Structure 1
């Protein structure tokens, strides 16, 4: 961990109860918990030793007033059932329980509190909705999403609900609709269609209370569309077109801006990109940012964790294991350890919080 991130975590975490577990946990009771000798970051960036409880796996011990956010990579080519979790404090990956239903790719992912959801995908799973409880590491089947079968769409979460837009169905072709999933009632609702053309290989992120959907592919060309969804009114509007048409872009939100990295001209042909641009919804404009350091790539995972952007996996035909974080203040990327599982592309991406 760099000195800058030490300082950030020292100020934000040290007295809010986010603990870094050391090795050698000792089993307690029926194995539901481990007693850990833990360390935490003090204000000067040094590590302090403390003791406490953490869910077996092990996960961080978190104060009720502090949200500890991690990112997950779910499934992907070639129809893998793998699920892996990235811890931004430890800067490392850990395997979680595999998805119980058939392996898939092109699935959409989103997180609501401690639940990570995988939705749809190719290989016979186009309607399946499943949820991983990140605390217990147990998957649960949820209500199937409404037809048609769907893959390569975009998903984002707001106020406890998940919104899934666009995508592709082998029978219907590219999709334009939008559906909302309520985890509390385990039910789906149809929402207003996107205003721009039906498309797949799109990306989405949340800024404030609005969802932003970028790019895509209409079966002929990459697209530069930006659609903005207001879940409070179920109304879509159009943002300024991206300054680079692309599909399979990585999208994440930091502060008041969206960041768009990578992507390409097409899935099986054309150039892939390393470009990164920010989108400011206040000025409805884009700005050029530092290129990603890893190989040009498309259709991986992107999340916001620990105040930084995180992109992982992706590729083209063959999946990659590369992982990078982005510091918006410094406009700088940093390479992290590769994902442990085989390289993958067209995966579901989600973040969960322990609180």
Structure 2
């Protein structure tokens, strides 16, 4: 094989390639077979992490700038009017956007396949791969058709190395809405939600993007409509939700699926309070497992120690308290994206907790073309 970059020592050329921005990797990969082999190698990604070049970014399902909120067709059914209101009135067209909160850098991904070129309304997104778990991918699951508002079983997979979307194997079983979803290890887990007859579900599934295959999991102990899915302590935690007959009266209980044991177990330490909507609950990455959520205009946190209680961290700025999305990222930081009123432009704030210094918010710049409502998010390292 020839030189990576003609005229440069191999170690210098490799240092240059390691510093390529995440949004340029698909272009670099197409330059030559040698460059393709380099950026696809585990050693390349190990070097990026070792030199501090791999950084956390947020993948956001965000309304396109031209889409007007609140005019997307028929009104949502009464059961989920609260969900539609929380979204500021869903727009017809959503896209995937990457946000580097440290640098305030925004980058839209290519439009997904399909005639509408839009992600489904109320879809879920999870990131898999990296650190020995295969190539880094985003997996978009389910949601509603943006034109008919009918639930879909679609799966869309974005590969960061190819810079392209592909359709994945459809989600089996009843077409479910408002389900829990999270990535644990190299798989994406789905549980609960409701079917097309508005019956709350106990069933659960796992999707392997490497094999493009779904597997059925044991049922949960309880029906859970509108639960929250979390990756915590290497388990898939399904928090809150409500049974068919309760219709919006959230329970505080939670269940956790252990992939190693292939079994569910109750989370016995009172994860949430009865009546608390778990929509803004998120888990910090890594083994620590600290949880965050919004409550009465405040960000609150809960440590994983048995019997730990939720504690206030900081009041959320008023222009981000409505329809907020909360994401925890490495380095003790939390990103809140919301608006001051339903349908308002989105404000982005990053909070950092430092020992002995308390917590402080810093507003991240959001250009006008990235001011649309964010309906789902996940954190990944690129």
Counterpart-to-counterpart distance in 2, 1:288 and 1:177: 33
CA drift at 1:65: 4.4
- The yes-or-no answer on 1:136 pairing with 2:166 is no
Alignment of 1:58-207 (within 5 A): 63-66=47-50, 67-74=54-61, 77-101=90-114, 102=116, 103=118, 104-113=120-129, 114-123=136-145, 124=150, 126-200=152-226, 202-207=227-232
**Aligned equivalents of 1:213 and 1:305: distance in 2?**
22
Q: What is the TM-score when the length of structure 2 is the normalising length?
A: 0.67
- For residues 310-329 of structure 1, the C-alpha deviation after alignment (integer angstroms, 9 at most, x for no partner) is 23358886365222223243
2:247 aligns to what?
A: 219
Give the SS at the match of 2:320.
Answer: coil
Higher strand share: 1
1:322 and 2:347 correspond: yes
The 5 A counterparts of 1:36-55 are: none
Number of aligned residue pairs: 300
Shift of 1:208: 2.6
> 1:5 matched to which residue of 2?
none
Alpha-carbon displacement from aligned partner over 1:226-261 (angstroms, at most 9, x marks no partner): 322222112222231424732222413155233232
Q: CA deviation at 1:331?
A: 3.5
Selected match of 2:272 from 230, 242, 247: 242
Cα deviation, residue 127, structure 1: 0.6
**Equivalent residue number for residue 291 of structure 2:** 259
Decide whether the 8 Å contact of 2:320 with 2:337 is kept in 1: no
Residue 19 of structure 1, CA deviation: 4.5
The separation in 2 between residues aligned to 1:275 and 1:158, in whole angstroms, is 28
Change (3 A) 1:54 1:338: farther
Question: CA 1:112 to 1:285, structure 2 compared with 1: closer, same or farther past 3 Å?
Answer: same
Task: Please list the CA deviations of residues 54-92 of structure 1 after superposition, one character each: whole Å capped at 9, or x if unmatched.
Answer: 99xxxx998354443321112563232311001144222
Moved over 6 A (4+): 28-31
Per the alignment, residue 279 of structure 1 pairs with 302
Report the Cα distance in structure 2 between the residues aligned to 1:226 and 1:315, rounded to whole angstroms: 31
Name the one with the larger helix percent: 2
**3-state SS of 2:192 partner:** strand
Query: Is the partner of 2:322 in helix, strand or coil?
Result: coil
Question: Is residue 20–residue 89 contact of structure 1 (8 Å, CA) maintained in 2?
Answer: no
Name the SS for the 1:204 alignment partner. strand
Which of 310, 314, 321 is the equivalent residue of 2:335? 310
Distance 1:30 1:162 in 2: 26
SS at match of 1:63: helix
Does structure 1 conserve the Cα–Cα contact (< 8 Å) formed by 2:343 and 2:373?
Answer: yes
**Tell me, which stretches of 5 or more residues in structure 1 are unaligned?**
1-14, 34-52, 264-272
**Helix, strand or coil: the match of 2:309?**
strand
Distance in 2 of aligned mates of 1:168 and 1:89: 37
Residue aligning to 2:83: none
Change (3 A) 1:338 1:145: same
Q: Which residue of 2 aligns with 1:341?
A: 370
TM-superposed deviation, 1:146:
0.8
Aligned partner of residue 373 in structure 2, secondary structure:
coil
1: CA distance, partners of 2:198 / 2:121:
19
**How many Å separate the matches in 1 of 2:252 and 2:29?**
54
SS of aligned partner of 1:78: coil
Root mean square deviation of aligned Cα:
3.5
TM-score (norm. length: structure 1): 0.71
**Superposed displacement of residue 282, structure 1:** 2.6
